[in-house]
A and B are shown apart, each in its own frame.
Chain A
Amino acid sequence: MANTLWIGTRKGAFALRPDARRRSWKIAGPQFLGHIIHHVVQDPREPRRLAMAAKTGHLGPTVYISDDRGRKWREALAPPAFRKVSEGEKPRAVERVFWLTPGHASEPGVWYAGTAPAGLFRSADHGDHWEPVAGFNDHPMQPKWAAGLRTPDGELLHSIRVDPRDARHLYLAISIGGVFESTDRGADWAPLNEGVAADFMPDPTVAFGHDPHCLIQHPLQPDRLYQQNHCGSYRLDRPARRWIRIGERMPKNIGDVGFPIVAHPRDADTVWVLPMDGSSVWPRTALGGKPAVYVSRNAGKSWQRQDKGLPRAQAWFTVLRQAMCADSAARLGLYFGTTQGEVWASSDEGDSWRCIARHLPEIYSVTHAH
C-alpha cells in the first residue's frame, strides 16, 4: 500500500493510490463519511502510523490515529483541549483541530497539533493523549499574537515546523497573527514577521498580526523558509530575520496571493505556488477562471506558468493551504485538490496536469504518504 494520497474533505477522508507509473489512480473510501477532515498526516518515523484531524459539523473536535496505514482508526483518548480556566479568565475551547505535524526524528511518538482558536498542543504517545503547550497557549503575549481576528473557519494555528536538526527549534503560523519561532521546544516564542506586508493593518510594518497562509521549511536546507501569505509570497534564509518578497517577480496580472506553497523535497530553490484572485472582495478563485501553477527554480527570482492540462476557462475553484503537496519520486509528482472536489496530478514536476479524481466533497487537504 505504498504511495498514497490522503484526501481530507468536508465530508470524509479518501485515499488515492496509483499504479507503478502513476498513470492510473484508484480511489478508496470514504472513511468517516460526513466528518470534517482537516488533515491526514503520515508519521515518517513510523510510516504505518497516521493521524487525522476531524470533527463533525455538530460535535466537538478530535483526532483519529491509525497504526496500520489507515485500514483501522481509533480515537485519541484525550484530544487537544485547552486547560480549564480559573475564575475570571477568558475561557477557550478547541473548535477544530486544523493541523498535525509529526515531531522530531529523535522524539518518536511526539506529535504537534494546531487548532482554532489558535492553540498549540503536543502528544508524546503517538496522538493518544494531547497536552496544551503552555509556553505558547499561556504566553503573556498570546492574547495579542492571536487576537481573535478570525478567518471564515476560525483563528487557525497551522504550519507547525520542527527543525530536522534540532527538536527544540519550532516554527508555527497563525491566521491571523503571523509566524512565530521557538528555540526551546515551545517554552517561549517570538514573532518572525519582519519584511512581511500586512496591508490590511493600520500599521503595515507591525511586528505581528500578519496572515501567513502556509509556511514551509525545506527538509534538506532547514534554514530555508518559504511562506505564502495573504499579502504575497516570501522567502527567508535564516539566520536572517527579514523576509524577502519573492512574489514581486510574479506577473503583475497574476499577483502573489494564494494559499499553498510547496517546495521540491530535494531542491530548496524550487518552489510552487497556486495564485488566486485577491482583488476587491477576495474571490480566492483561480484568476480569471483559468487556474495555473507557477514554479520558481531559483528561489523566487523568476517564475514560470504551468497550466498544461488544466482547464482553459470557466474554472473557478480554490485550492486551500493544506491541499497541495509533492511526492518523493525521482520525477517529482505534484498534486492539488480543489474546493470543487477534484484532485489534479502532475508526474512531471508541474509541466502537465490531469484530473485523477472528481466529484469528491470540498477538499481541505491533500497529503502524500509512502
Chain B
Amino acid sequence: MNTVRVPSPLRDYTGGAARISASGTTVAEILANIDRDHRGMRFRMIDEQDRVRPHIRIFINQREVLSLDEAVAPRDEIHLICALSGG
C-alpha cells in the first residue's frame, strides 16, 4: 500500500481525508485504484485522453510525474497537487 496525499479540493471524494492508501506498481494503477475507492476522483485530475489536467501535478515523493506509466515502489508516497490560482 502506498500513502497518497490529497489536496483540499479533492477531499470531498475522500470523506475529508488528507491521506488515503492505494496500491499499484505504476501511477496509472494507483489512480485506477483511487477511483475504485473514491468514484469520480480520477476524472477531476486526469482527462479522457489520460492527460493530467492543467492545474494538477502528481509527485512520487519529491519527483514530479511526467508519465502515468512511471513505476511506483511499495513505500513511495504519492502527492496529488492542485495548483490554485486566480480569484
**Interfacial residues, chain A to chain B (CB-CB below 8 A):** 56-60, 62, 75-77, 79, 81-85, 91-94
Asked if B44 and A60 make an inter-chain contact with CB atoms under 8 angstroms apart, the answer reads yes
Residues on B lying within 8 angstroms of A by beta carbon are: 9-10, 39-40, 43-51, 53, 55-56, 82-86
Cβ A56 vs Cβ B48 within 8 A: no
A62 and B48 contact, Cβ closer than 8 Å, known pairs A56-B9, A57-B86, A77-B39: no
Known A60-B44, A77-B39, A84-B49; further 6 A-B contacts with Cβ < 8 A: A57-B84, A62-B40, A79-B40, A84-B48, A92-B49, A94-B48
C-alpha gap A79/B42 in the complex (Å): 12
Chain A residue contacts of B50, Cβ below 8 A: 84
CA distance A59 to B85 in the complex (A): 12
Give A76 to B43 CA distance when docked, in angstroms.
11
Q: Which residue of A lies closest to B54 (CB)?
A: A58
Instruction: Note all chain B residues with C-beta closer than 8 A to A81.
Output: 43, 47-48
Q: Which residues of A contact B48 (CB under 8 A)?
A: 81-84, 93-94
Chain A facing B: main interface SS? loop
In the complex, 7 of the A-B residue pairs with CB atoms within 8 angstroms, ordered by the A residue number, are A57-B85, A58-B82, A59-B44, A59-B45, A79-B40, A81-B43, A94-B48
B56 touches A79 (CB 8 A): no
CB-defined contacts of B86 to chain A, threshold 8 Å: 57
Contacts of A77 in B (CB 8 A): 39-40
Given contacts A57-B86, A82-B48, A91-B51, contact A62 B43 (CB under 8 A): yes
Q: Which residues of B contact A91 (CB under 8 A)?
A: 49, 51
Q: Report chain A residues within 8 Å CB of B55.
A: 57-59
Are A59 and B9 interface neighbours, CB within 8 A?
Answer: yes
Complex formed: what's the CA distance from A314 to B55 in Å?
Answer: 37
Name A59's contact: one of B39, B51, B82 (CB within 8 Å): B82
- CB of A134, distance to nearest CB on chain B (Å): 14
Shortest beta-carbon contacts, A-B, top 4 = A93-B47, A58-B55, A81-B48, A59-B44
Distance (whole angstroms) from the CB of A280 to the closest CB of chain B: 27
Q: How far is the CB of B21 from chain A (nearest CB, A)?
A: 22
Instruction: Name the A residues within 8 Å of B9 (CB-CB).
Output: 56, 58-59
Known: A79-B43, A81-B43. A60 touches B49 (CB 8 A): no
